[in-house]
């Protein structure tokens, strides 16, 4: 998934009680910090706070301040810590940011400053999102939205935009599409260029995914338009980092279109802009995108070098979800270079990083990719384990492409089991159709090991026995689940159930018991 492609929003008015020159000075400093945050200049925003904050590893000195000002300073300190942690890939700063923002939220809540509480919750959700904790991010954003009154406001648009980001990151593209479609008119009415740019950028990302998975070229065309609009609004807002982000996203879109030269041109521009901003984390994201382009061009050595550099940078920071993505890309490049042992190690690291981040979908994609890239070299038990992990981790993903990849991998495993371990005796262990006992009735299967290999052969019996063995293996691999086994075999759940109840009743004890649906308590009896 493409965490690299997203820009979060950080705009809200400053509040505070009038308390003399000291309070007014702090409010002005917080306003200045906010403007710099909007431009992506977190180091400058940190300098504005000055003596209030001695260092990133220390809590700001706010003990003698009015509580409302304390909360404001803590909030900005958390935003700045999260931003510096992302751009410089410094370990521990996302956790620091969560602590500071959570403390500010508690103060805002105690002071019944609802808008400021919502702002803090939105930034807290962004910290969760950066770490890959998507469930926590989703819950926090929905809690924030529930506190806001009816009608449009920048805070509401900010929460909605970031909720769409979370759903897209979780591969719930249709959910994100619905959120964006319903909110489109509200964003168009806003005069906030940061908000409008974020909306268009995120909508472009979702259209790109849906265009690829649902074979909708009109969505791809719309994605180009959305990215162009995002670039326009972010240029108006004066945020060079966000403009660079669009260049990276256009590189991904052109990669999908197999326009590799143009993709590299946009990535060059993105990297140059991020270099001027000294945004180490975003440079690593661009390098990971470039590695994907190299893979598509079959330039595997260049892909390995680019992905390795991206992994090295993400290893230094907190964003384990981005590390998991980079490790998956690096593993793919290594596999295609024939370095299978090293590739397997990187895929396993990707799974571990995803688990550490709580980003189970990324772990599923790493498991799936490992199976696709290393199917000829992995032992059968490892193949089965990888498939089961992928299916488990991606169970909640609403992505047709993922379902197709799972089905292909299931068939790879069945084919590998047959080619590596199946003998002809294995394929005749399943009794013929309609036989309720464990005894084989009818003509004995042909013995191809004799001098008369075709003696006693009956095509229908042989085909039936082979079909039964394949179904048995699929059910065992799927732990008895008919739905999963059907996916492996490339047929529907209903189709496999019909075959089991008709031609292979002896396999009914292999499947899990049928669960009868309960009648809804909401329906009239």
Element (H, E) at 332: helix 320-336
Element (H, E) at 33: helix 21-38
- What pTM does this model have? 0.71
Element (H, E) at 353: helix 340-357
d(CA 215, CA 212): 5
Beta carbons of 484 and 475 less than 8 angstroms apart: no
474 lies in a domain? yes
Q: Is 115 helix (H, G, I), strand (E, B) or coil?
A: helix
How confident is the model at residue 512, as a pLDDT? 66
Q: How far apart are the first and last CA of the chain?
A: 45
Tell me how crowded residue 185 is: count the other CB atoms within 10 A of its CB: 9
Beta carbons of 311 and 330 less than 8 angstroms apart: yes
Q: Which two tokens stand for residue 145?
A: 């939205």
Element (H, E) at 503: none
d(CA 525, CA 517): 15
d(CA 509, CA 66): 70
d(CA 498, CA 433): 13
Between vectors from CA 279 to CA 276 and to CA 282, what angle results, nearest 5°? Answer: 115
Beta carbons of 313 and 280 less than 8 angstroms apart: yes
> What total number of domains does the chain contain?
2
What's the average pLDDT block by block, 10 residues per block, for the chain (525 residues)? 46 42 80 85 85 77 85 92 87 89 95 95 93 89 92 89 92 92 93 94 95 90 96 93 95 95 97 94 96 98 98 90 95 97 95 84 93 92 89 80 87 84 42 37 41 55 72 79 75 71 78 48 30
Give the position of tokens 């052109």.
254
Beta carbons of 240 and 277 less than 8 angstroms apart: yes
**Which of 127, 147, 170 lies at the terminal end of a domain, its last residue?**
170
Q: Which two tokens stand for residue 427?
A: 């394929």
Q: Which two tokens stand for residue 1?
A: 């998934």
Give the position of tokens 């689940």.
481
Domain coverage including residue 493: 458-525
pLDDT in tens, 157-179: 999 999 999 999 888 889 999 99
**Which of 170, 193, 214 lies at the terminal end of a domain, its last residue?**
170
d(CA 104, CA 86): 21
- The torsion region of residue 476 among left (phi > 0), alpha (psi -120 to 50) and beta comes to alpha
How confident is the model at residue 52, as a pLDDT? 75
In angstroms, the Cα distances linking 322 to 5, 274, 357, 375 are: 11, 17, 10, 25
Q: What is the 3-state secondary structure (H, E, C) of 376-388?
A: CCCCHHHHHHHHH
46 lies in a domain? yes
CB proximity list for 169: less than 8 A, separation 6 or greater? 1, 2, 3, 6, 129, 134
φ, ψ for residue 215, nearest 5 deg: 55, 55
d(CA 155, CA 175): 21
d(CA 241, CA 40): 6
Which parts of 250-360 are beta strand (E)? Answer: none
In angstroms, the Cα distances linking 443 to 241, 295, 461 are: 74, 54, 8
pLDDT in tens, 503-517: 787 888 777 665 443
362 lies in a domain? no
Q: What is the 3-state secondary structure (H, E, C) of 428-479?
A: HCCCCCCCCCCCCCCCCCCCCCCCCCCCCCCHHHHHHHHHHHHHHHHHHHCC
Between vectors from CA 213 to CA 209 and to CA 219, what angle results, nearest 5°? Answer: 55
**Which of 170, 200, 228 lies at the terminal end of a domain, its last residue?**
170
Q: What is the DSSP letter of 231?
A: H
Altogether, the residues listed in the chain come to a count of: 525
Count of alpha carbons within 13 angstroms of residue 227, beta-carbon side: 25
Beta carbons of 166 and 132 less than 8 angstroms apart: no
299 lies in a domain? no
d(CA 27, CA 320): 35
58 lies in a domain? yes
pLDDT in tens, 418-446: 887 643 344 334 343 333 333 333 344 44
131 lies in a domain? yes
Give the position of tokens 């648009």.
157
83 lies in a domain? yes
How confident is the model at residue 324, as a pLDDT? 94
d(CA 210, CA 406): 18
d(CA 345, CA 332): 11
Instruction: Please report, for the domain that includes residue 22, its CATH number.
Output: 1.25.40.10
Instruction: Please report, for the domain that includes residue 472, its CATH number.
Output: 1.10.10
386 lies in a domain? no
Nearest CA among 112, 122, 123 for reference residue 145: 122
């Amino acid at each position: 998934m493409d965490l690299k492609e997203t820009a979060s929003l950080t705009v809200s008015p400053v509040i505070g009680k009038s308390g003399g020159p000291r309070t007014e000075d702090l409010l002005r400093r917080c306003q200045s910090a906010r403007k710099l945050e909007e431009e992506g200049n977190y180091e400058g925003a940190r300098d504005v706070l000055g003596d209030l904050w001695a260092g990133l590893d220390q809590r700001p000195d706010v003990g003698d301040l009015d509580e409302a000002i304390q909360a404001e300073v803590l909030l900005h300190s958390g935003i700045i810590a999260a931003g510096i942690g992302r751009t410089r890939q410094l370990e521990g700063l996302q956790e620091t940011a969560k602590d500071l923002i959570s403390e500010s939220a508690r103060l805002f809540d105690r002071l019944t400053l609802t808008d400021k509480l919502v702002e803090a919750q939105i930034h807290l959700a962004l910290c969760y999102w950066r770490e890959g904790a998507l469930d926590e991010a989703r819950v926090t954003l929905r809690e924030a939205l529930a506190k806001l009154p009816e009608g449009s406001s920048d805070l509401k648009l900010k929460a909605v935009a970031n909720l769409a980001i979370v759903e897209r990151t979780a591969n719930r593209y249709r959910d994100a599409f619905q959120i964006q479609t319903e909110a489109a008119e509200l964003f168009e009415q806003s005069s906030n260029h940061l908000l409008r740019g974020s909306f268009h950028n995120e909508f472009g990302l979702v259209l790109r995914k849906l265009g690829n998975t649902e074979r909708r070229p009109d969505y791809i065309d719309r994605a180009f338009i959305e990215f162009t609009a995002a670039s326009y609004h972010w240029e108006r807002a004066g945020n060079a980092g966000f403009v660079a982000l669009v260049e990276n996203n256009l590189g991904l879109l052109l990669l999908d279109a197999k326009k590799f030269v143009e993709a590299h041109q946009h990535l060059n521009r993105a990297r140059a802009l991020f270099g001027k901003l000294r945004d180490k984390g975003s440079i690593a994201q661009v390098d990971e995108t470039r590695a994907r382009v190299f893979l598509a061009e079959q330039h595997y050595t260049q892909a390995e070098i680019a992905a390795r550099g991206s992994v090295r940078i993400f290893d230094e920071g907190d964003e384990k979800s981005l590390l998991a993505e980079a490790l998956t890309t690096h593993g793919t490049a290594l596999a295609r270079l024939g370095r299978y042992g090293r590739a397997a190690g990187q895929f396993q690291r990707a799974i571990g990083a995803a688990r550490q981040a709580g980003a189970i979908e990324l772990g599923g994609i790493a498991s799936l990719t490992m199976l696709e890239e290393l199917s000829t070299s992995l032992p059968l038990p490892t193949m089965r384990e990888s498939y089961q992990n992928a299916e488990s981790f991606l169970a909640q993903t609403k992505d047709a492409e993922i379902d197709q990849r799972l089905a292909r991998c299931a068939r790879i495993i069945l084919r590998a089991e047959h080619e590596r371990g199946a003998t002809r005796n294995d394929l005749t262990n399943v009794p013929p159709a309609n036989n309720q006992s464990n005894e084989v009735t009818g003509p004995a299967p042909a013995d191809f090991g004799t001098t008369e290999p075709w003696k006693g052969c009956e095509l229908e019996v042989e085909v039936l026995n082979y079909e039964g063995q394949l179904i048995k293996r699929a059910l065992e691999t799927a732990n008895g689940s008919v739905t999963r086994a059907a996916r492996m075999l490339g047929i529907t759940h209903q189709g496999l159930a019909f075959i089991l109840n008709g031609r292979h009743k002896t396999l009914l004890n292999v499947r899990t018991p049928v669960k009868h649906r309960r009648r809804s308590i909401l329906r009239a009896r």
